[in-house]
Chain A
Amino acid sequence: MTEPEVYDKVMTMKEAISKFVHDNDILGIGACANNIPYSAVHEIIRQKKRNLHAVQPTSMFEIDMMANAGCLREVSFSWSIRMFTGVRGIDRAISEFGIKVNDYTNYTCALALMAGAYHMPFLPCTESVYQTDIYNWANEGMFARIQNPFSKEGKPPITLVQAINPDVAIVHVQRIDKKGNAQAWGALGTVRHTAMASKHVIVSAEEIVDEEIIKRSPNQTIIPSFYVDAVINEPWGAHPTEVLGCYDFDRIIVGQYILASGTLALFEKWASEWIYGLENREEYVKYYIHKFGFDALNRLRAKTLLSTPYNIGSTFQTEMQKLNIKLEDIELNPELVELEIETGKEV
């Protein structure tokens, strides 16, 4: 009998990216405009991963950043933020460096990932796509038309979108336990399907919590542990985008990035300061405080507004739950337990 291979999933972002992200991979970015795993994106740029194919329906600056840094060969997306037409890294990458664009809509890209997550080859999508140039201009392998095998005669064919299964997904959540049960709240976008569709999942979290805390609100778990390959304790890991209950959108960095994305030279300057010049997220936060002051960071911190607890109790309680004693309490204070051998009842 061989022991199953047990390894610690908790690691640094550097280890996780070098272990699970490889050149030519399909990279699923499991975020729709909030909780964006910028810590992972920065590390991918720092480790100079090349020829990646990024998949994400709605993108803020992460695809733009990777395009600027030359990490991408292909993107599958539907929308990316723009401030001024034609000055984004993604525009340059498309028009000058010829990266391939698979232009989806939010729904069809989300469906492609959903099909991937449910291990279906494709899913039916909408007629509105067929009626537009999203369908007419689509690259091979995105959409198809078939006759609905269940429909009566005379019904028009239906449009299908092919599944996408990324090689690796990067995700940022509010909390996770050491096993890898990831909990997030707020608008979920496509994060679950992106993670479940991928072969490997890297999850960074604002905090690593006790398993007991996860078990107290099980409906909050969006990715169960067996999907997760790497668990990274990364406070401020989604900065400068927001994480509900943790911090808000940071206009300083975003404003600087938008301007820096104007030309490649400006981007290089920006990146050498905020990506290449820093070792990890901890240094990034330290540098931010050094540069803009602690107050600038504190201004973003969320005020506390707790959710209402709900009863998850059953008809029984363990002795530990009754007395509200935890295992580590017993470790610290063994006198909390008194074991006695029962006598006079030998079997």
Chain B
Amino acid sequence: MGKIKAKISYDEVMCSVASREIRDHEVVFVGQGIPLLAAMLALKAEKRVTLVMEGGIIGCVPYRPPIHIADCTAFTGVECCCEMVDMFGMFLMGGKIDVGFLGTSQIDKWGNLNTSFTKDPRVSFRGRIAGSGGANEIAGFSKRLIILLHHGKFIEKLFYRTSPGWLEGGTSRQDADLPGGPSALITLDGVFRFEEDTKEMYLDSIFPGKTVEEIKAKVPWDLKINPDLTVAPLPTYEEVLMMRRFSPNISLGRLRWAATQTDELRRLSTKNIELTEKYDILDALSTSRMRKAPATENLWPIDELPPPE
């Protein structure tokens, strides 16, 4: 018998590892992107989890990835719709949310997050990115916080602290009257956790094909390593299929996906859009990083592509 050969991305490893952080019967605050895909994998593994989204959606099972935090059109019916203040003020502050999932662009050794500026805002506001959104409160009040670092980086001192992690380590978070705290950081290289007493980050397990030296080079401080360092397991084939069918853009990585989108835009319209002439789209594209995106086929066995809509 022949063997199935498929290449997978580290994004997919990250997702499946994140999904194992979710336990049965938990209420999970999901955002768009990888958190959602991880939550979907948990659902697929028959964990009874309740997914909530900050726009006011409770108990949803998406049939396509929601575009944003209030995208009700991604579900056929949800258990409850409410308002944003209810979601934060009642449910989150009331300790009803077990797991919060957050992406970040910068993180320090105590798990404090910056999602507001990529450059020092004291020098230039040019580096302003998304902003807090619900991140500040989700980080502050979820019972457990799982942080995903996808394209971001480790930094000794944050330019701007958007969301609280373990603050200055030790008991500082407890002293500030904040419950919970970060429990894991998952990057494309491995899983990091936080020490019981000092709350400093350490490397707990690495992904196959990565080395400790490689990871240490990305961290500006002297990173502590778990003496019993393990290698995280690869996703199962079933998980990979599920991720690719459900959300190719996350599974493949946004850049690769974006490269397919210009074709998609043309295909979607019944008349030819003539984007190039109208908006100098290629100019815009070349200034972005989209051009550098590797071709999809290298990673994706072509017969596994989801059928076109």
Contacts and interface: CB of A to CB of B under 8 A. Distances in A.
Asked if A pairs with B, the answer is yes
Give the residue among A58, A129, A251 with the most B Cβ atoms within 10 A: A58
Contacts of B76: 305
B2 to A, nearest CB: 38
What are the 7 A-B residue pairs with the smallest beta carbon separation, nearest first?
A128-B140, A79-B133, A293-B270, A187-B70, A187-B55, A107-B88, A186-B72
Given A106-B54, A188-B82, A256-B275, A128 B72 contact: no
A128 B265 contact: no
Interface residues of A, number: 75
Interface string A103-135: 111110011001000000000001111111110
A104 B118 CA distance: 18
Contacts of A302: 73
B68 A81 contact: yes
Interface of A: 32-34, 57-58, 60, 77-87, 90-91, 94-95, 103-107, 110-111, 114, 126-134, 136-137, 156, 185-193, 242, 244, 248-249, 251-252, 255-256, 259-260, 262-263, 266, 269-270, 273, 291-296, 299, 302, 305
B54 A296 contact: no
B85 interface: yes
Chain B's interface size range is 35 or more
A16 B65 CA distance: 36
A190 B162 contact: no
Contact of A33 (B71, B129, B162, B281): B71
B139 interface: yes
16 contacts: A33-B69, A78-B132, A87-B288, A91-B128, A127-B176, A128-B140, A129-B137, A130-B176, A187-B55, A188-B83, A188-B84, A256-B265, A260-B284, A270-B279, A292-B271, A305-B77
A24 B236 CA distance: 57
Contacts of B226: none
A189 B279 contact: no
Interface of B: 53-57, 67-73, 76-77, 81-85, 88-89, 93, 112, 116, 118, 121, 124-137, 139-141, 160-164, 167, 176-178, 261, 264-265, 268-271, 273, 275, 278-281, 284-285, 287-289
B141 A126 contact: yes
Contacts of A126: 93, 136-137, 140-141
Given A126-B140, A156-B177, A242-B71, A105 B132 contact: yes
Contacts of A192: 83
Given A252-B268, A291-B271, 16 more contacts: A34-B73, A57-B133, A77-B131, A78-B131, A85-B127, A103-B116, A106-B54, A106-B134, A114-B85, A131-B176, A132-B112, A133-B116, A187-B57, A244-B73, A273-B278, A294-B270
A292 B270 contact: yes
A132 B268 contact: no
A128 B68 contact: no
Nearest to B86: A188
A110 B265 contact: no
B126 A91 contact: yes
Contacts of B140: 126-129, 131
B88 A33 contact: no
Given A132-B136, A266-B284, A269-B278, A193 B81 contact: no
Given A95-B124, A292-B270, A292-B271, A58 B280 contact: no
Contacts of B275: 256, 259
B128 A94 contact: yes
B179 to A, nearest CB: 10
